[in-house]
Amino acid sequence: METTSTEYSNQWSNTEVNVALCGISGSGKSQFINTILGLRADDPGAAPVDSFGSQSITGQYRHPEQPGLIFWDLPGIGTGKFGRDNYLETVNFDTYDFYLIFGRGRFYEEDAWFVKQVNLRRKRFFYVRTHIDQDIASKKRGGDKTSVEESCLDTVRNDCETQIQHAGIKAAHTKVYLISTRLQDKDKWDFPKLNSDMLQLLPRIKKETVAVAISVPYPSAIRVKSQYLLDNVWRAVFLSGILAAVPVPLLPLVVEYFLTLRQIRTYTNSLTQMELSWRRLGLTSSWKFQVAGVGRLLSEFLKLNLYFMVSPYCIHVTVFGCALSAFLSYRMTGFILHRALKIIEDEMLKMFK
Ligand SMILES: Nc1nc2c(ncn2[C@@H]2O[C@H](COP(=O)(O)OP(=O)(O)OP(=O)(O)O)[C@@H](O)[C@H]2O)c(=O)[nH]1
Ligand SMILES: [Mg+2]
């Protein structure tokens, strides 16, 4: 117990985590903050509740037990001033470390939109489904009072999880909390778990996010990744050799072309997927990489095509022809893919000079 609490406070030392509370208007973001702070809506310092979409200022509040945990009460989307068009820029959506997406009632299109926006920024979120007290109360009015609560919780939880996964989130990253934000319900349903998960997980999640942002684009990491891809080039090369042995005119050319293109796209994606991280580091010249890299790759492609024009189609139908075609394709694909990887790696490393 001692160790856990030490570890827990170590995690928070010097860490500030900025958490954005976002979601449709009326989903309970402001009341959630008041309840965390132990305040009622009319207490001094409380967040304004029932603003019905008119809230335009982003309020900032610190967690009472952990001042490093900063909540940003964003204006609601859906009614009032904010539609999707101007929302992200207005609330500086990119700048937060973590997101609590609030929802009520059914899972709305806006909820899925928030999930996607957070995911696009390679950040993490918890989905907080509020008003669970009302859902249970209305179910109880209509049916068997004993098992109603459990089945209502299961139904709501399953629905939220399924919808979040439809929006492109892995099950392991889908965290749903069913709560009521009323002060008297602070100890009920998932409220205590949400509070403790925020205190325990957020510094770790912040460290992961920062690690992704700064470690990957360094030259040493690029070289390691590129070496890994080089070590696996033989798979594509082997496949191209086998397919080139099939005695159908022009098949080797078509196979070579598409296989090589596909591989090059894979290399580019795996080495450049950290574009967002680069931007955070101020490396905004990735367009130079695109232009220079594509130019150099094109010239390699021209050489490849030249080779196929002189390749021995006339003797292709003989056993010797098939073997020769397979061998040439094997050597050429290997050559092209190695060159392509080197070019992509070179162009990326230039960005650090
Ligand atoms: N019963 C119940 N009422 C809730 C719950 N959460 C919020 N409310 C009520 O819903 C209304 C809106 O809550 P707010 O906290 O102002 O909602 P908001 O998300 O901040 O809304 P905007 O500021 O417009 O984006 C208030 O009347 C709250 O008392 C809940 O879990 N249960
Ligand atoms: Mg509010």
Looking at 181, 215, 249, which one is the last position of a domain? 215
Judgement on whether residues 230 and 298 belong to the same structural domain of the protein:
yes
Asked if residue 196 and residue 309 are part of one domain, the reply reads: no
* Ligand with smallest separation from the Cα of 31: 1
Gap from CA of 50 to ligand 1 centroid (Å): 6
Q: What is the pLDDT of residues 22-35, one digit of tens each?
A: 999 999 999 999 99
19: closest CA among 55, 87, 67? 67
Contact 339, 300 (CB under 8 A): yes
Are 262 and 129 in the same domain?
A: no
Tell me how many degrees the CA angle 220-222-228 measures, rounded to the nearest 5. 105
Indicate whether residue 133 lines ligand 1 (CB < 6 A). yes
Measured from the Cα of 48, ligand 1's closest atom is: 16
Greater model confidence, 108 or 208: 108
Residue of higher predicted confidence among 287 and 344: 344
Stretch 37-42: mean pLDDT, rounded? 94
35 lines ligand 1 (CB under 6 A): no
Between 130 and 308, residue with greater pLDDT: 130
Mean pLDDT of 50-70: 81
Q: Decide whether any atom of ligand 1 lies within 6 Å of the 31 Cβ.
A: yes
Q: What is the pLDDT of residue 246?
A: 77
Total domains in the fold of the chain: 2
Burial of 101 (0-12, 13-18, 19+ CB in 10 A): buried
Q: Is 27 in the pocket of ligand 1 (CB under 6 A)?
A: yes
Which of these three, 150, 183, 215, is where a domain ends? 215
Best residue among 21, 24, 27, 111 to mutate for probing ligand 1's pocket (most ligand atoms within 8 Å of CB) is 27
Confidence of residue 111 (pLDDT cuts 50, 70, 90): very high
With a 6 Å cutoff on the Cβ, whether 134 touches ligand 1 is yes
Q: CB of 105 closer than 6 A to ligand 1? A: no
Nearest CA to ligand 1 atom 3: 131
Residue 288 shares a structural domain with residue 203: no
Residue 8 has pLDDT above 80, yes or no: no
Condensed to tens digits (0 to 9), the pLDDT of residues 150-178 reads 999 999 999 999 999 999 898 988 999 99
Cα 56 to middle of ligand 1, angstroms: 16
Q: Tell me, what's the pLDDT at 1?
A: 46
323 and 177 part of one domain: no
Task: Indicate if 189 and 312 belong to the same structural domain.
Answer: no
Residue of the CA atom closest to atom 8 of ligand 1: 28
> Which CATH number do you get for residue 102?
3.40.50.300
Higher local confidence (pLDDT), 196 or 291? 196
Q: Tell which phi-psi region holds residue 70, choosing left (phi > 0), alpha (psi between -120 and 50) or beta.
A: beta
Distance, CA of 252 to CA of 235 (rounded, Å): 17
Q: Which two tokens stand for residue 241?
A: 């050799």
For residues 211 and 236, state if they share a domain: no
In this predicted structure, what is the pLDDT of residue 265? 75
Residue 314 pLDDT > 80, yes or no? no
Q: Is the CB of 51 under 6 A from ligand 1?
A: yes
Q: Are residues 7 and 137 in the same domain?
A: yes
Residues 247 and 188 placed together within one structural domain of the fold: no
Alpha carbon separation from 107 to 92, 129, 178, 203 (Å, rounded): 24, 9, 13, 28
Give, using CA atoms, the residue closest to atom 2 of ligand 1. 131
Percent of the chain whose predicted confidence (pLDDT) is above 70 = 73
Rounded distance from Cα 145 to ligand 2 centre (Å): 33
Residues 48 and 150 reside in one and the same domain: yes
Range of the domain at 279: 219-350
| Same domain flag for 211 and 285 | no
Same domain, 135 and 161: yes
Confidence band of 289 (pLDDT split at 50, 70, 90): low
pLDDT over 90 at 290, yes or no: no
For residue 26 and ligand 1, the question of a CB distance below 6 A is answered with yes
| Over residues 101-126, mean pLDDT | 92
Q: Which ligand is nearest to the CA of 133?
A: 1
Is residue 59 lining ligand 1, measured as CB closer than 6 Å?
A: no
Q: Which of 215, 235, 251 is the C-terminal boundary of a domain?
A: 215
